[in-house]
Amino acid sequence: MRIVTCIAPVNIAVIKYWGKRNEELILPINDSISASLDTNQMCAKTTVMISPDFESDRIWLNGREESIDNKRLQRCIQEIRKRVAVSGGTLSEEICQWKIHICSENNFPTAAGLASSAAGYACLAAALAKLYDFTGNISEIARLGSGSACRSVYGGFVRWYMGSDPTGRDSIAKQIAPETHWPEMRIIVLVVNDSKKKVSSAIGMKRSVETSKLLEYRAKHVPQKVEEMHQAILDKNFSKFAELTMRDSNQMHAVCLDTFPPCFYLNDISCTIIQLINAYNSAFDSIKVAYTNDAGPNTVLYLLEENVPLVLGLIDFFFPPSTISGQLYKKGNPPESITPTKKLLEKIDLQPQPIGSIRNIIYTRIGCGSTQLQNPSEHLLDNNGLPKNIQYL
């Protein structure tokens, strides 16, 4: 038997992917850029195992067995097997035919706009690549699972090049700068609601491609924005980076509203956070924080370390935490909050929101890409190929 375990990061796009030109191969209508977040706070972990003793392919996600007949999942497995066979890899044909068991876990809410599928498929692709000694481009395999997953293969700042080849061979991710490039950069994830979202990003973006004129406009203008963002990252130009990030998030959600029927991903709390950040930046007459939202209400802030204590103080003031949740409210060891002055609060001029509007806060930084874990105790499957942690319902 062979067994491999990998972890992969969540990535949060600063120039978004929204819309495919090819649904089957998951080819986007524009390049996108993201940062991969530290796997210590948020990651997917996946164990893959093949054995001549397994009777069928099986998968467990977050402790529950799921159907293996998932089209995207099958594509990743089949594509890797096919390519390994064509390139005459190191494993015999017989071994490549052994049945596979897959077990994957996230340490953060799934399907709530927190890029869980991105981390999951990047992790699966990385683990399969090691399992089958695949030497090709892992981001291309991850993309077949979930478009944004191709960016989670790498650490630091990552660009997904849309490519032009009809086969998708050049629609791959590349690192712009490693995780050490901008050490002052911090990320605060505000978990507003971790219940399952209503319209998946796959359905939402398909509907946008079919109905939104604004998306046509966006596709024409994103190339310029991508180049500007790429440069802002290389230059570590925070205000440029932050303005582009906020504008791009706003535009993606404007496209969602321009979609018919419209898709709503932001809720009142996300909108109030956006107002707070804009008011804070205006109060200082300088862009110190950027917000961005994917296909869900959770809002992610990008900011430099020096501004974290005051921003946390403002969040504490305007979004008082519930004291009865029992869970750790702030994860990732953030610094002490600074209580905002009366003068600043007057300038911001917002109403505090009901207690518990923000469920929890994850404080993190930029991190590395998918990584193999060498210690056998890290495997999620036991020697019989069954999950060590199973959730019996």
Q: Which residues bind ligand PMV (CB under 6 A)?
A: 13, 16-18, 32, 115, 117-118, 146-148, 201-202, 294-295
Residue 85 CB, shortest distance to ligand PMV, in Å, is 27
DSSP string, 341-353: PHHHHHHH--PPP
The residue (of 18 and 60) whose beta carbon lies closer to ligand PMV is 18
The residue (of 126 and 295) whose beta carbon lies closer to ligand PMV is 295
Cα–Cα dist 55/53, whole Å = 6
Task: Tell me the β-bridge partners of 98.
Answer: none
The residue (of 27 and 84) whose beta carbon lies closer to ligand PMV is 27
Residue 222 CB, shortest distance to ligand PMV, in Å, is 11
Residue 230 CB, shortest distance to ligand PMV, in Å, is 15
Residues 13 and 34 sit within 8 Å (Cβ to Cβ) = yes
The residue (of 18 and 241) whose beta carbon lies closer to ligand PMV is 18
Hey, which bits of the chain come out as E strands?
2-9, 11-15, 20-22, 27-28, 32-36, 43-51, 58-61, 64-66, 99-106, 157-160, 173-177, 185-191, 289-292, 299-304, 330-331, 360-365, 371-372
Task: Tell me the β-bridge partners of 182.
Answer: none
The residue (of 120 and 387) whose beta carbon lies closer to ligand PMV is 120
Q: Are strands 11-15 and 27-28 parallel, antiparallel or unpaired?
A: unpaired
| Phi, psi dihedrals of residue 153, rounded to the nearest 5° | -70, -30
| Phi, psi dihedrals of residue 168, rounded to the nearest 5° | 90, 0
Residue 96 CB, shortest distance to ligand PMV, in Å, is 28
Residue 28 CB, shortest distance to ligand PMV, in Å, is 8
Residues 192 and 297 sit within 8 Å (Cβ to Cβ) = yes
Residues 369 and 9 sit within 8 Å (Cβ to Cβ) = yes
The residue (of 116 and 137) whose beta carbon lies closer to ligand PMV is 116
Q: Taking each helix axis as running N to C, give the angle between helix 268-284 and helix 308-318, from 0 to 180 degrees, rounded to the nearest 10.
A: 130
The residue (of 17 and 319) whose beta carbon lies closer to ligand PMV is 17
84, HSE (Cβ side, Cα atoms, 13 Å): 24
